[in-house]
């Protein structure tokens, strides 16, 4: 899928600018999803994955020190695709108590894309689509969800169809709920195939999701066994990715120690081997031209009317501070822009 102007600067939402100014006055780092400075390697890799979002399931794992732009990158994508009819972006912090990634993604679909899923089922049914192609022709593990899938596409009543979807996501799970449809009870083991089915249903209706999962390190902080289970479920999803026709999963880790990749390899070497070439590290801004671009973007956003000479002076001041987080650099530049404006005023 051709995506034009990805990573270009986005015009700010006018109603947010005053709040950004208030954030600065209160000592907060402003939320800036309107542009991504530097990060050229990350932008190139992620851009490549997005270009293939309608072909096959893509995944990447982003690591960076705290304050170096992981969350900002996800929010940029959410804003960039906010009016796109085909690509939907959902941005969530990880739930440390739901450390099975498959179940977590099903909950996201249930909470955020229920209507799209239900309408897609109805449209596919009216188009006489080959539903077996959505579930690997019911081969191997998909044989266990054949009866469920056939019921899903045979149901005429919309309320009952909603219940069937909830049986798939796990919102309804009791034996009596399945008995209502004369179905064998699904288990969490079957949810892997259900996730593939639901994602393929959305793809068949030209709806593609970018899942932005932030703060995955919270699971690691909770406990090593939970983190191991999370990585195992991630590996299982990766192994099913060739059967999913589209979508993108971006998972972010804060890497305060610089050992995220190493800890993943230690906990689950099988997963690390699969994901190694899809790990994207976000660096600190270091190039002088990137500092200038950032300062100029902030100058335009906050309408501080600085000349190129003023920008160069501000950059020189900030560079001397030798700050070690991108968020601190942003905050310092904003402060210099504001203070120099007040002096001139």
pLDDT, one tens digit per residue, over 213-234 is 999 999 988 999 999 999 999 9
pLDDT in tens, 78-114: 999 999 999 999 999 999 999 999 999 999 999 999 9
pLDDT at 67: 86
pLDDT of 76 over the 80 cut: yes
161-169 mean pLDDT? 98
What's the pLDDT at 343? 46
Reported as a pLDDT band with limits 50, 70 and 90, residue 259 is low
What number is the average pLDDT over the span 158-186?
97
What's the pLDDT at 344? 42
Give me the pLDDT at residue 260, please.
Answer: 60
Percentage of the chain beyond pLDDT 90 is: 76
Residue 7 has pLDDT above 80, yes or no: yes
DSSP state of 31: P
Show the DSSP H helices in 6-39 as ranges: 14-25
Averaged pLDDT score across all residues of the chain:
92
Q: Is the pLDDT score of 256 beyond 90? A: no
pLDDT of residue 22: 83
Q: What is the mean pLDDT of residues 4-8?
A: 95
pLDDT 10s digits, 271-311: 999 999 999 999 889 899 999 999 999 999 988 999 999 99
d(CA 226, CA 231): 9
Average pLDDT over residues 193-205: 98
Model confidence at 72: pLDDT above 50: yes
CB atoms within 10 A of CB 167: 23
Strand ranges inside 68-123, DSSP E: 87-93
List % helix, strand, coil for the chain (3-state, nearest 5).
60, 10, 30
**pLDDT at position 345:** 43
- Report the range of poorest mean pLDDT among 76-85, 162-171, 225-234, 256-265: 256-265
Q: Identify the H or E element spanning 159.
A: helix 158-169
Produce one character per residue of 186-223: b if its CB has 16 or more CB atoms within 10 Å, e if not.
beeebbbbbbbbbbbbbbbbebbbbbbbbbbbbbbeee
Q: What is the 3-state secondary structure (H, E, C) of 243-294?
A: HCCCCEEEEEEECCCCCHHHHHHHHCHHHHHHHHHHEEECCCCCCHHHHHHH
- Across 172-176, average pLDDT: 96
pTM of the predicted model, to two decimals?
Answer: 0.93
């Amino acid at each position: 899928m051709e995506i034009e102007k990805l990573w270009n600067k986005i015009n700010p939402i006018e109603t947010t600018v005053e709040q950004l100014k208030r954030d600065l006055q209160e000592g907060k780092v402003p939320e800036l999803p309107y542009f991504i400075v530097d990060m050229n390697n990350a932008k190139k890799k992620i851009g490549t994955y997005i270009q293939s979002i309608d072909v096959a399931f893509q995944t990447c794992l982003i690591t960076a020190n705290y304050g170096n732009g992981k969350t900002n990158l996800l929010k940029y994508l959410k804003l960039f695709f906010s009016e796109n009819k085909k690509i939907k972006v959902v941005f969530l912090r990880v739930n440390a108590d739901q450390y099975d990634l498959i179940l977590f993604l099903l909950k996201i679909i249930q909470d955020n894309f229920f209507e799209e899923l239900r309408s897609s089922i109805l449209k596919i049914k009216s188009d006489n689509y080959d539903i077996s192609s959505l579930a690997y022709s019911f081969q191997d593990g998909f044989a266990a969800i054949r009866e469920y899938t056939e019921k899903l596409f045979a149901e005429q009543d919309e309320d009952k169809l909603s219940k069937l979807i909830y049986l798939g996501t796990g919102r309804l799970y009791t034996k009596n709920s399945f008995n209502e449809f004369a179905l064998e009870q699904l288990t969490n083991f079957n949810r892997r195939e259900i996730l593939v089915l639901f994602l393929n249903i959305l793809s068949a209706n030209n709806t593609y999701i970018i899942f932005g999962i932030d703060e995955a390190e919270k699971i690691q902080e909770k406990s090593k066994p939970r983190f191991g289970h999370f990585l195992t479920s991630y590996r299982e999803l990766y192994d099913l990715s060739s059967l999913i026709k589209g979508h993108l999963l971006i998972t972010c880790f804060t890497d305060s120690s610089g050992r995220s990749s190493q800890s993943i390899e230690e906990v689950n070497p099988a997963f690390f081997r699969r994901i190694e070439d899809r790990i994207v590290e976000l660096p600190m801004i270091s190039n002088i031209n990137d500092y200038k671009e950032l300062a100029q973007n902030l100058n335009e956003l906050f309408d501080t009317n600085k000349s190129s000479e003023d920008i160069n002076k501000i950059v020189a001041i900030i560079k001397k501070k030798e700050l070690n987080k991108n968020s601190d650099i942003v905050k310092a530049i904003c402060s210099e822009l504001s203070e120099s404006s007040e002096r001139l005023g």
